[in-house]
Every structure is written in structure tokens, then in C-alpha cells.
Chains A and B, each alone.
Chain A
Amino acid sequence: MKIGRRGFLSFVIGGAAGTALSPLPWKLMDDSSIWTQMWPWTPVPEDGEASYVNSVCTLCPGHCGITVRKIDNRAVKIEGMKGHPVNNGGICLLGLSGLQLLYGPMRVKTPLKRTGKRGQGQWEKISWNDAVSEVVEKLRDIRSEGHPQTVGFISGFDRGTVSRLFERFLTAYGSPNFMRMPSVRDSYELAQYLMQGVQALPGFDFENSDFVLSFGSGLIDGWGSPVRMSRVHSAWQSAGVKVIQIEPRLSNTAAKSDKWIPINPGTEGALAMGLAHVIVKESLYDADFIENNVEGFFDWKNLVIDKYSPDTVASITGIDSRTIVVLARGFANASKPLAVCGRGNGTTPVNIDECMAVHALNALVGNIHKKGGVWAVSEPDYINWPEIEMDAKAAAGMQHERLDGAGSKTYPFTRYLLPRLPETIDPGEKNPLQALFVSGANPLYTHPDTQAVRNAFDKIPLVVSFSSYMDETAQNADLILPNHIYLERYEEVPTPAGMIEPVIGLSRPVVEPQFNTRHVGDVILQMAKGLGGSVAKTFPWDSYDSCLKETLGDLWNYLIDKGFWSNTGAMPPFFGTSYETASGKFELINKDNGSIPQFKPVSIEGDEKDYPLLLIPYDSMRLACGFIGDPPFVMKTVEDSILKGKDVFVELNPKTARNQGLREGQRVVLTTPKGKAEVKVHLFEGIMPGLVALPRGLGHTGWDEYLAGKGINFNTLIGPVEDPDSGLDAAWGIRAKLEKA
């Protein structure tokens, strides 16, 4: 039978009718809609038993309590711990994104040994035993040659058992070169030591003050403990607390303050002295406090009256003299005023004169160790380990001066001076640093003049990184011995930055270690055992966990149960006993060491002729700029006016732009005496004319593809400027120029 056109058509029509009467089209429609709504490649959260683990976030010095929600064995959400003295249920963007640091691609999954040249990224996986014995062998060689002092350790923190183990290891081995990463804590510790004679943490009772005078501190831009500061800031708003922000750029903190006073960058110390002048001259100070608790007031008064009149200060700072007078009166007349310094998020020190001048303001209004004032917070004293056994080699090694010069004749009172380290590393035969360990720190990213630091690192024969992530320092190390991340390990975490009450939190494993990583505390114990002799004897513990348990004693069970310990009823130290100076008082002029709060301008690099502009950094809660880089979730929140694609924007006042002939979005080359980089222009009325501002936290080369290669690292464009009195890095900016690309 021949199938004609009509036959075929009727077959098709019959087929169509039959198909319509069959479930086929309807079922396919249903299935395809399910398929398109549930793409098979879209990850689906596992279903399972929900549980919560209390721990501590150590991604910044804020040390918030966290509660991690788990489904079976997987952590699925990080929340703030309710009832925790720091954050009471709150959490910041970075803390919330911590799970990406746990499961993300930036992790170092196993010990790695460099095979190519440094920084080439060629690694071979090695076993833990091989890795540790390689380090031990090198350390044994260095020690047997009689140079134990040539081993250094850079750590992000210097408190708590883990940091103390590092220090203990170095001491027993014979090296004084334990170095902490710099921050504004360096300046405050030194100021408190010089003026109050105590080694203590600076604590600020923001919750109870009624007038906050901030010398450029980004109080809600990541300063101190960010979640606490956000909570405090909300409380200020409802309580009507006056907040005055003094800085050259309209930061978020400035925008949310009662008054923003733009100031010539680097002259904050002068303003503090100017305010002191008005307070002293008009007798607005706390006479009782000055009489009973302050030494050297009259000498300092003369200096202040002589040199820091409002007109003089106005010409230095660019602030109208009338404003200075009004501000000083407002500050002194408030019942609980508080002045604070430390630019941005406080990860860089300020020069000691500025810090002392600001601290002196607090003393003038008598709010040292008072409700709403500044406290010297002593550490909870729970680490009572046996004496370190030092053999002759260790004793000889410890006789050497520190490489960074801290504690030397030049800088006798400064504890750590890491920024000075690169210049001391000598390429010659007798390199003063033969081996360097880095933990909880990323100096090859966070240090000013990163290129110089890298060159210095290249001269160190052995660099060992304990980083859990492939950060810049790990990339340029010889060995990476990856630590568990904070969600995988035990560690006690002492008092968070800026708190007035002592707190100890317990960071504990939320999940099993995901990779072949090892607790850095255990690695130190293994290294000590490997070295044998007195070094091994100094570490009588089998594992870090047993060391921690033993150290904490009864506190261990309390911490396991509650998650943190705090002394909520902490009282300020009694007057008279809280100053350990020669006079037993707060010393405005310290006769022993000649330190006087005053203004000494920091001369930053570059001359005005070649570099007509000033480059300053700025910090944001959306850009982590410490040893942790932004995880992808946080990167997603960075605005288009800061980073677009791979281009970072510099902020420029429209006036400056007009003078330079630049417009919004224009591609320019930013040059400083330290380096150059291609950036784009963003016009911003909130920055003083003549300045260029660049955000910190970008321009990574390490981490993952979501962070690396985006923007410019501010630290490649600036170098350290040494404060002659303290040795601290006092650079607040650098001269710069912009040219059309």
C-alpha cells in the first residue's frame, strides 16, 4: 500500500490526538519543570540531625563567641553566641562567612615542600613525619653551630597557650626572636607602660562613656572588636552619646558620628595637644584626679600653654581654632568623656607621641580606671608552667639582642618591632636569620613595602609557614605545615581587643579536621621532642590538648560547659596600686625615660615637588586586611565604587580631580616612592582635597581565585616610617602622584 500525503497527514493527526490523550506531554512538562527548578548541579543541603557547637571566632582580635549550627557532621551556619560578653548573639560579615574558610578551595590540605623556586608555586606533598624531621634537622644544625638566636618566629598573637608555646620553644632553643604582628596595641601598651608603669591591655569602657572623641579610629569600620563596637554604637545612638570623629576622610564611622572634623592627615597628635591647651588654660580638667593621681602636670602644663595654642594648632591641623576651643570644652565638660586613637581598624600602630597625647587627654579629665574611661586590663593569670630548662647553648643564644631591636638601648620599652626586621636581614655570609616560622600571620601581605619584605625573606635559608591557607607568606615558604583552622581545633582565647573585662573563650573543634592538617601546638611539641635534651624536657606534655587541659585546670570543665569565662564584675584597679611608675602616679612627664606627650610630626616618604598628592589607606568591614583574606561571600559585598572587575578605585575629591584633569572612572597610574599601580578614579566629596585614598585588603596573590588578582595591595605602595622614640612604624600615608594611564 502506498502512503500518500493525505495518509501521512492523517497518521500524524492521529498520532497528535493519541499523544494528547496519553500522559506523555503532560508528564514531560511536569518533569522538565521540576528539572529546571532543581538543576542537578545545584548543591542541596543535606538533611540530618541539627546540633550546635559553641566556640570562639579568631579571624580577628575581636574574639566573638560563636554558635555553629551543624547538620550531622557538616557545619552549615555560624551564628553569634547569645549571652557572650563581646557580641551577645551578634556576628560580623567575616565571621558569618567562616565556613568558606573551612570548606573553601584556599585550604592547604597536607604538608607541602617547595620543589621549584620560592614563590613559583611548585610543591610536593610530604608526610608529617618527614616534614617535621626536616625542620628538626635544620634546627639541630643551627643549634650545634652555636647560632640558636638566628631562628625567628612571627606570630599573629602573643597571648594564650599556643603563642606561649612558641615563645617557650624559642627560649628553650636559645632565641629571643619571637615577634608579634604590629597593631595599635603596640602604641597603647607602650603609652600605658610609660605613663602608668604597667604592661597591660588597653581597655575602653565605651558602653558607659557619654562623649567619645575618636582620633581617626574606625570605631564601626573594624576597630577593636567589631561586633561589640557595632552594639556599642547602636547604644550610643539611643542614649544620645556624642561621638566626634576626627579624620581626613568621611569613613562610615565619620558618617554616623555627631560631628566629623576633617583634619590634615598625621596631625591628630597636634589636635590632642591643642585640646589639652584649652582644657588646661580654662581649668576644665579634673583637679582632684590631677592632684592625687598625676605626676608632672605643672611642667607639662607649661609646655602645653607655650606651644599648642588653638591658633598654632589650627595652622597645623587645618581645623578652625574656634572649633578646637568648642571641642575641648565639650570634651572636658562631659561627665564621662573618652578619647581614643588608632587609625582605621587599628591594625597599624600610631607614633607614640600621638598615643600619649590622646592618653593624656583622658588623664586630664580624670577618666583613667573609671566607669566610661580607659583601663589598663591585666591578663587572667592562668598559665603557670614549670621553669624553662635552658642549657648552655640556649643561655648563650638568649644573651643576644633581638633582631628587630625591641628592648635594645635605642628602643628599650617597645616589645616587638617586626617592621624593622627586613632591614636587619643581611644577604652576607652570616645571615642573622637562618630559619623563620610564621603562624597566624601573613607578613608578605600585611607588611608595608611588601617587595622589600619579600626580598628579605628570600635571604632566609628556611621559611616555614603554619598557615591553613595558601596565603602570600605560605606561597613564598619552603615548607607549609598546615594548622587546623579555628573550627577544627582546641585553643583558649584570652581577652578580646579593647574589652575592659577579662574574658577567656574556648575555641573548639566544630567538625573533625577536613584535611591532613595538624594542630600547630602539637607540631611544636613534636619539634621539641625531636630536638631532645633540655628543649624536650621543657615540654612535658604528650599533646597540645593535654597541655591545654592541664594548664586550664578547673577552668577547662567550666569552658567546655559554658564556652567562655568572664569576670563580669571586673573592677578597675584601685588608685594608688594601679600605677607602677616611680612616683606611683600617672606620669604626664616620665622623668626616668624623659617621655612627654607632645606633637612631633612624622615625616612621610616622598617630596612634594615630585609627588603633589598624599596617599592614605582606609579600612572597611567588607575588606579583611589582616592575616585572613576576604572569603567569597564577603568579596561579593564590596561595592562597585571600590572594586569593579579587577580594578580598584582610588577616592579623590572632585576639586583635586579638576586640578589634575581627571574624571570619574578614569584609568590612572598611581605612583609613590615605593611603587606604582594602575587604578581608577572615583570622585568623592568626603575626602579632603589633595588626598588620594586606597582601600586596604585587596591585591592578594594568594588565597583563591575569588580574591587573588583583584585590586592593589596598599602595602606595596607604602614603606614603614620609623618613629624615632619607639621604633614603631608611624607611617600614616605616603606622598603620591596620579597620571593618566
Chain B
Amino acid sequence: MDTLDDHAKDISEDAAAEAGPNSSLEMNLKEQDTGAGGPIILFFILGLFASLVVGWIVFPKLLYSKKKQPIEFNHVFHVEAVDNGCESCHFFREDGTFSGAPKLAQCIDCHEEIQGISPDEIKFVEEYVSKEREVPWLIYSRQPDCVFFSHAAHIQGARMDCVACHGHMGESESLKVYEENRITGYSRDIWGKSIGGFKKNTWDRMKMDDCAECHRENAANIERKNIQTPTQRLIGHMVNLVSPGTSTFDKGGSIQTERDPCFACHK
């Protein structure tokens, strides 16, 4: 064993001696690497930092355009003036459908003529009421056409409060700036003000995850308890693939998809 070890040592020593003339170059290289270790990490941090700034701060500024509503509106003032709270203007029709943003027909009861001195009211009466043009309100809560949402089921059936999804809109004295997603055309309020998708209140976001969240939390009392977004579904499948039977998603009413029927909420 000794002889073998010694032999190996000899060989390596020989090799080092043979490489003599080049050793300084090797040293230089090593020195350079050690010296540049700082900048490389710096570059990494720079890249990380820059992209985080772009992703969290620049991107949302680029993604959304800011639009003003065609005319100003004071909810507080109007809620005080009407008898029936929100439902005075945002009412259910006889057939159970929800009227959404009021049409001229509702405003005209009071605003057939100019009532006050507010320049926005004057503009409203002159530009819209007298010309019989509907106000092109920008709707913060407008959902894509494929979404089927019944206000009646939630407000009249489940006795939910408007605030749960729409926040304290009725307490606003002016209309906030409408931030329109340049790609989809929908309001920023759907994804939520937080670009990271974080929410503090139930009304901060209006995505399908938020529907699902509320439906999960209240699963004991409601019918559609198994709403799953495609992402949740994908994760569930992957978990099932790795260790079958551990995924916790329940089976819904549909035999094909094992979920609640898609068409309950999707047109």
C-alpha cells in the first residue's frame, strides 16, 4: 500500500514541477476570480433588484391606464337624499335581474332640470339628460361576458351585504380614478389594487379565487362549495399523481369534471 501511495505522490510532484513555468498564470487567474466574486453577486443583486422594481412598481404603472369618469358623482349625498338606500338606484328588476349602474331613466326623476350649482350636475343635465344620452359610466366591477353572476342569489338569497364585494362604495364622496387594464380592458378592481394579489378585505379583489374562497369558508351553508380555479385543479392533480389519494379536493356534482358544473358561473 505504501509503495503505491508514494508512487502516486511522486507522480503528482513531478507533474507540478513540469508545470512550473505556467503556475504564475494560474495564480493570476485565481486572483482575478476571487477579486470579481463581489461584482458577480452585485450583478445578481442588481438584476434581482431591478426586476423586482420593474415587476412590483413599473409594471403596474404601465399595465393600467387612468381614466376619469364622464361626470363626478357623490354617493354620500345621494344616499342621504333617497329613501331606500343603495336599492333606490341599484335595484332588482321584477324578473329578479339586477339593474347595476343606474340608467338615465332612474336619474331623470330628480334631474329633469338642473337642481343645484354643481358644475357636474349642470354637465349631466345638459350633455346627457336633455340629449337623452346614457352616461357611459366606467364600471369598476365589470366582469368578462363569460361570467354569470346572479345578484339575486347573493343579495336576496344569501342575504349578503353589497359591501362584501363592492366595499364602501356607498360612502364615497367622489368617484375614484378608473384604472383600465390595457390588455384586458377590465378595471384594476377585479385583480385588486395590490399587484401581488394580496387582500385584506373581502372586497379588495373580484377574481374567481375570491368567489371560491368565500364559497369554501361558507361551505356548510351554501350549495356551490367546490369552486376550483384551474390552478387549484392543476395542483390537486399533481399532488394526486405524486401520492394518490392525498389530494383533498372534494368531488362536485358533475360526473365529467368532478366539479360543480362550470356553467353555473360560466356562460
Cross-chain contact A38 with B144 (CB below 8 angstroms): yes
Cross-chain contact B51 with A22 (CB below 8 angstroms): yes
Cα A35 to Cα B55 in complex, Å, equals 20
Q: Is the CB of A37 closer than 8 A to any CB of chain B?
A: yes
Cα A45 to Cα B195 in complex, Å, equals 30
Cross-chain contact A17 with B48 (CB below 8 angstroms): yes
Cross-chain contact B44 with A27 (CB below 8 angstroms): no
Cross-chain contact A13 with B54 (CB below 8 angstroms): no
Q: Is the CB of A145 closer than 8 A to any CB of chain B?
A: no
**Most chain A CB inside 10 Å of its own CB: which residue of B93, B183, B191:** B183
Knowing A14-B45, A15-B50, say if A23 contacts B59 (CB, 8 Å). yes
Q: Which residues of A contact B95 (CB under 8 A)?
A: 50
- Tell me the smallest distance from the CB of B196 to a CB of chain A, in Å: 5
Cα A45 to Cα B267 in complex, Å, equals 12
Cross-chain contact A10 with B47 (CB below 8 angstroms): yes
Contact of A38 among B56, B63, B103, B184 (CB under 8 A): B184
Q: Is the CB of B29 closer than 8 A to any CB of chain A?
A: no
- Look across to chain B and name the residue whose beta carbon is closest to the beta carbon of A4: B36
Mask for A222-253, Cβ within 8 A of B = 1, else 0? 00000000000000000000000000000000
Contact of B40 among A10, A21, A22, A31 (CB under 8 A): A10
Q: Is the CB of A16 closer than 8 A to any CB of chain B?
A: yes
Cα A30 to Cα B181 in complex, Å, equals 12
Q: Which residues of A contact B48 (CB under 8 A)?
A: 14-15, 17-18, 21
- Tell me the smallest distance from the CB of A68 to a CB of chain B, in Å: 16
Cross-chain contact B146 with A19 (CB below 8 angstroms): no
- Tell me the smallest distance from the CB of A682 to a CB of chain B, in Å: 39
Knowing A11-B43, A15-B47, say if A22 contacts B145 (CB, 8 Å). no
- Tell me the smallest distance from the CB of B99 to a CB of chain A, in Å: 7
Cα A1 to Cα B35 in complex, Å, equals 13
Q: Is the CB of B52 closer than 8 A to any CB of chain A?
A: yes
Mask for B123-142, Cβ within 8 A of A = 1, else 0? 00000000000000000000
- Look across to chain B and name the residue whose beta carbon is closest to the beta carbon of A21: B52
- Tell me the smallest distance from the CB of B7 to a CB of chain A, in Å: 39
Cα A425 to Cα B39 in complex, Å, equals 99
- Look across to chain A and name the residue whose beta carbon is closest to the beta carbon of B100: A47
Q: Is the CB of B77 closer than 8 A to any CB of chain A?
A: no
Cross-chain contact B55 with A19 (CB below 8 angstroms): yes
- Look across to chain A and name the residue whose beta carbon is closest to the beta carbon of B58: A24
Q: Is the CB of B46 closer than 8 A to any CB of chain A?
A: yes
Q: Is the CB of A609 closer than 8 A to any CB of chain B?
A: no
- Look across to chain A and name the residue whose beta carbon is closest to the beta carbon of B194: A23
Q: Is the CB of A516 closer than 8 A to any CB of chain B?
A: no
- Look across to chain B and name the residue whose beta carbon is closest to the beta carbon of A6: B40
Cα A34 to Cα B180 in complex, Å, equals 14
Contact of B191 among A6, A22, A27 (CB under 8 A): A27
Cross-chain contact B146 with A23 (CB below 8 angstroms): no
Cross-chain contact A49 with B99 (CB below 8 angstroms): yes
Cross-chain contact A14 with B183 (CB below 8 angstroms): no
Q: Is the CB of A574 closer than 8 A to any CB of chain B?
A: no
Cα A16 to Cα B54 in complex, Å, equals 12
Cross-chain contact B44 with A10 (CB below 8 angstroms): yes
Q: Which residues of A contact B144 (CB under 8 A)?
A: 34, 37-38
- Look across to chain B and name the residue whose beta carbon is closest to the beta carbon of A14: B47
Q: Is the CB of A12 closer than 8 A to any CB of chain B?
A: yes
Cross-chain contact B52 with A22 (CB below 8 angstroms): yes
Knowing A14-B46, A37-B146, A49-B93, say if A23 contacts B197 (CB, 8 Å). yes
Q: Is the CB of B70 closer than 8 A to any CB of chain A?
A: no
Contact of B47 among A4, A11, A32 (CB under 8 A): A11
Contact of A16 among B51, B99, B145 (CB under 8 A): B51
Cross-chain contact A27 with B146 (CB below 8 angstroms): no
Q: Is the CB of B178 closer than 8 A to any CB of chain A?
A: no
- Look across to chain B and name the residue whose beta carbon is closest to the beta carbon of A28: B183
Q: Is the CB of B119 closer than 8 A to any CB of chain A?
A: no
Cross-chain contact B181 with A31 (CB below 8 angstroms): yes
Cα A44 to Cα B43 in complex, Å, equals 49
Cα A11 to Cα B43 in complex, Å, equals 5
Q: Is the CB of B253 closer than 8 A to any CB of chain A?
A: no
Cross-chain contact B196 with A12 (CB below 8 angstroms): no
Q: Which residues of A contact B39 (CB under 8 A)?
A: 1, 7
Cross-chain contact B97 with A49 (CB below 8 angstroms): yes
Knowing A4-B36, A21-B52, A27-B63, say if A14 contacts B100 (CB, 8 Å). no
- Look across to chain B and name the residue whose beta carbon is closest to the beta carbon of A44: B145
- Look across to chain B and name the residue whose beta carbon is closest to the beta carbon of A15: B47
Cross-chain contact B44 with A11 (CB below 8 angstroms): yes
- Look across to chain B and name the residue whose beta carbon is closest to the beta carbon of A26: B197
Cross-chain contact A32 with B183 (CB below 8 angstroms): yes
Q: Which residues of A contact B186 (CB under 8 A)?
A: 34
Cross-chain contact A10 with B51 (CB below 8 angstroms): no
Cross-chain contact B40 with A23 (CB below 8 angstroms): no
Quick one: which of B188-220 are within 8 Å of A by CB?
A: 191, 195-197
Quick one: which of B71-93 are within 8 Å of A by CB?
A: 93
Q: Which residues of A contact B197 (CB under 8 A)?
A: 23
Q: Which residues of B contact A28 (CB under 8 A)?
A: 183
- Look across to chain A and name the residue whose beta carbon is closest to the beta carbon of B49: A18
Knowing A6-B40, A22-B52, A50-B97, say if A11 contacts B59 (CB, 8 Å). no
Q: Is the CB of B185 closer than 8 A to any CB of chain A?
A: yes
Knowing A31-B181, A31-B184, say if A23 contacts B51 (CB, 8 Å). no
Cross-chain contact A22 with B50 (CB below 8 angstroms): no
Q: Is the CB of B242 closer than 8 A to any CB of chain A?
A: no
**Most chain A CB inside 10 Å of its own CB: which residue of B48, B99, B145, B186:** B48
Q: Is the CB of B41 closer than 8 A to any CB of chain A?
A: yes
Q: Which residues of A contact B100 (CB under 8 A)?
A: 47
- Tell me the smallest distance from the CB of B128 to a CB of chain A, in Å: 16
- Look across to chain A and name the residue whose beta carbon is closest to the beta carbon of B40: A10
Q: Is the CB of A386 closer than 8 A to any CB of chain B?
A: no
- Look across to chain B and name the residue whose beta carbon is closest to the beta carbon of A22: B55
Cα A72 to Cα B63 in complex, Å, equals 34
- Look across to chain B and name the residue whose beta carbon is closest to the beta carbon of A48: B103
- Look across to chain B and name the residue whose beta carbon is closest to the beta carbon of A37: B146
18 chain-A/chain-B pairs, Cβ below 8 angstroms: A10-B40, A11-B43, A11-B44, A13-B44, A14-B44, A14-B45, A18-B50, A18-B55, A19-B54, A22-B51, A23-B56, A24-B51, A31-B183, A34-B144, A38-B184, A45-B145, A48-B103, A50-B97
Task: Beyond the given A7-B39, A22-B54, A24-B55, please list 12 additional residue pairs across the A-B interface where CB-CB is below 8 A.
Answer: A3-B43, A10-B47, A13-B44, A14-B48, A22-B59, A23-B197, A24-B54, A27-B63, A27-B191, A34-B186, A47-B100, A50-B97
Residues of A in contact with B (beta carbons under 8 Å apart)? 1, 3-4, 6-8, 10-19, 21-24, 27-28, 30-32, 34-35, 37-38, 40, 44-45, 47-50, 72
- For the complex of A and B, 10 pairs with smallest distance between CB atoms: A22-B55, A14-B47, A18-B51, A15-B47, A14-B44, A14-B48, A24-B55, A11-B47, A18-B48, A31-B183
